[in-house]
Structure 1
Amino acid sequence: MNRNAKVMTTRATATAAVAATTAFVMMGNVVSAAPVGPIDPVQATQGFLVMTEGNATLIGTENEGTLAVGGNLAFSQYQLATVSAGNFFAPGENNPTALVVDGQVDFPNSTPNTRLQVLQNGYAKIGNLNDTFVRDFDNNNVPANTRILPANDYDASPRIELVTNQSVPSVGPVSVIDFAEAFQTFRSNSTELATCQNTVALRDPNGDPISSPIPPGTNAVIDLTPNTTNVLNINSADLDNISILTFPDQPNASSPLLVNVDTTDVGDIFDWTAPNFAGIGGPEARFILFNFPTATALTLAPGGATVEGTIYAPSADFTDLDQSNTEGSIVARTLEHRGGEIHDYPFSTTLACDNGSPTASPTATPTASPTVDPTGTPTVTPSPTGTDLPITGSSSGSMLLTGSLAVLTGTALLLTIGLTHRRRRNAES
């Protein structure tokens, strides 16, 4: 083979080696390095504490805040707006709207002889009043607090009761929220937030790193960095195995916590037994968001502790079977509330990430160190494997870092080949 042919063979082989190395380490879901945010993930709720795209069923026991339902609403004995009627005011009205049902009230599937009370002088807005009666006077024709009824009888049940007099025409039929547009925004936000790289590590109470898979019953400590969005990327199995999540540092408006939960390991159907949240409560819950970007069904299983933070699952059917409470906003495709109370601690900040090098990701080690022998044929020398490092949840951030190292490794390989070729040419001349 002549000298030019050898050079062409060397370059072609080297290029193929670089491409193969890059393709190997870049396999999987690679996260974009584009910055994210700032995003207010609940802005499209227009201030409602709980919002669904589709139907909602309220069995127990109360929601301290407000509710906006994009589909139909069924209920049992339930109280709404026990603490706040919110800040959504329809044009020309002085009372806030605490309940929105864009579909209709599903009386046939509601529990007989029960009532849904809307407190704090909140109003209701109903999109479809078929087979529904609205009255603001009692059976003696005396003006009274407004009720939404299955029959033209002020004492009929199941019923929705207001504690104020709202004019019958203002109840509906009326549509005051574009739910389709809102949930398009929620899903876009959820997907974009899921690209944030991990920035925090989980450790045990002794300060030692916790590796994945996390054993059941783990007490995990999470350290937050001030004045930034802290990101924990974790799969559902690891999250479910944490029994205590301890916060030495409390999240706040400038130091929120975003938890991206990868549910693909359970087919996007996740039953979560919530851990005890140590060191924080409702006020801090306003700055924690649990993002479930791909979940299609999410259940709070019985026996869990109070969830401190917002449940953000815009593509999931959300079922709460836990008698403990949820302190935060809820955004879900549908809702079955059969557990404890929903406390009025809405998400109250913005989230952002620059997607630079993750601070707690495992250090990527090239799987091979290409060298070039005197004949111009690249050879491969195996490299040692890395050691265990703190868990950072999903591997998307480290995949991006590994890909960057592959490119650097390939560049070094090409430089080495070029230098070898130059030396040969000088020796021959």
Structure 2
Amino acid sequence: MIPFTSLHGISMLALLTSVSGLSNGVAKLPALGYNTWNAYQCNIDQNLVLTTAKLVKSLGLQDAGYMHVNIDDCWSEKNRSASGDLVPDKVRFPNITAMTSQIHSLGLRAGIYGDSGWFTCAGYPGSFMNELRDVTQFQEWGFDYLKYDNCAIPFDDIIREGIVGKYQRMADAIASLAKTSGKKPFIFSLCEWGWSQVWLWGASMGHSWRVTGDIAPQWESLAAIINFNSFITQATDFYGHNDMDMLQLGNGGLSLDEAKSHFTAWALMKSPLLIGTNLSAITSDILGILTNKEILAINQDPVIGKSISPFRWGINPDWTSNSSFPAQYWSGPSQNGTVFMLLNTLNQPADMFFNLTESPWIRAGRQYSVRDLWSHTNNGTAVRNFTAHSVPAHGVVALLLKDAGNEPSGIFPQCSVWWQCIDKNGTHVGG
């Protein structure tokens, strides 16, 4: 366990700094869609992408809000053309413009992948020193979303700038293209892996930024990402989002309870939600998780852009970094009430109890109706506290609490949390 003040050498002041997003008319809310990498890596072609786009529509994912179909690495030839242009793989992507047109005809949007260095992570041409040329091509081919990676960084005596400047080059190219073309700017997803505190500067140029390395379909990976993100939730708001990496549901390695926790945490922390599952083999259980409209409504809230945040770490002292056992008690505002996430990080079922006013979004002396966002049931009224019983190992409870008026009179003690609770005559309230 790492105390908060020494978390990866990041200062407390830096973690508590609020970040304003890039409000340039696109990506006010987190992106919802599909990305090819988790399921297929380099084994992609035009037919697979179109088949996947059709499945996004036919499976009801588009109706649930998933709009982007994004190809990842390995889509191009290994060399640029004689004139310096990127060239789609002639065999696997013989007509990339026709592909995006068919995606658009389904009412969906198309995204592409690039890299800020000499090469992509799989060894294909990167965009360093070709930023405007490349993004102009992407737009001509029909794309409007760019995932931009961080491999093959040029030598210092060539780049002569830090990581911020390397990404700023493409951000400037995107802004320049929007001005000259009259079209909306690209959605710009920075895949920088969080090595240089990207959550502090990414919002000045992009709409989302990866905060950790690549996700894996194991609980240990999810727990580590949730733990890290628990300290930087204030960096997410409208137009700018901590990207916790793609959804690993249905790729093996996670129980159904862990899959629900994965989706809930990513959605309520306002991460982009990009599916990485083979949709041809998706199970009804995983599809049900991905299309939980009550959870998605929090992620896509048009009134509140902030992430939920921990109000109590649980088994660890507050503000403790523990990659195996992250914070357990979370809350945040929404347009329809206060959202709670109770995450059982233990390896066995557990009851989870909290006083309502531990959350800063709850008013003292009020009672609250309780909506379970997974069972889709109204579960009575909570007064002062709430207990979730027998939460499964690595499982989650997601609740929406709405103010239901004053709590009943005559409840003793006068305060649910009696530390510093005092009568006007000076008498302290005790348990």
- TM-score, length-scaled by structure 2: 0.25
Structure number with the higher helix fraction is 2
Using CA pairs under 8 Å that are at least 6 residues apart, name the structure with larger relative contact order, 1 or 2: 1
More strand by share: 1
**TM-score under structure 1 normalisation?**
0.25
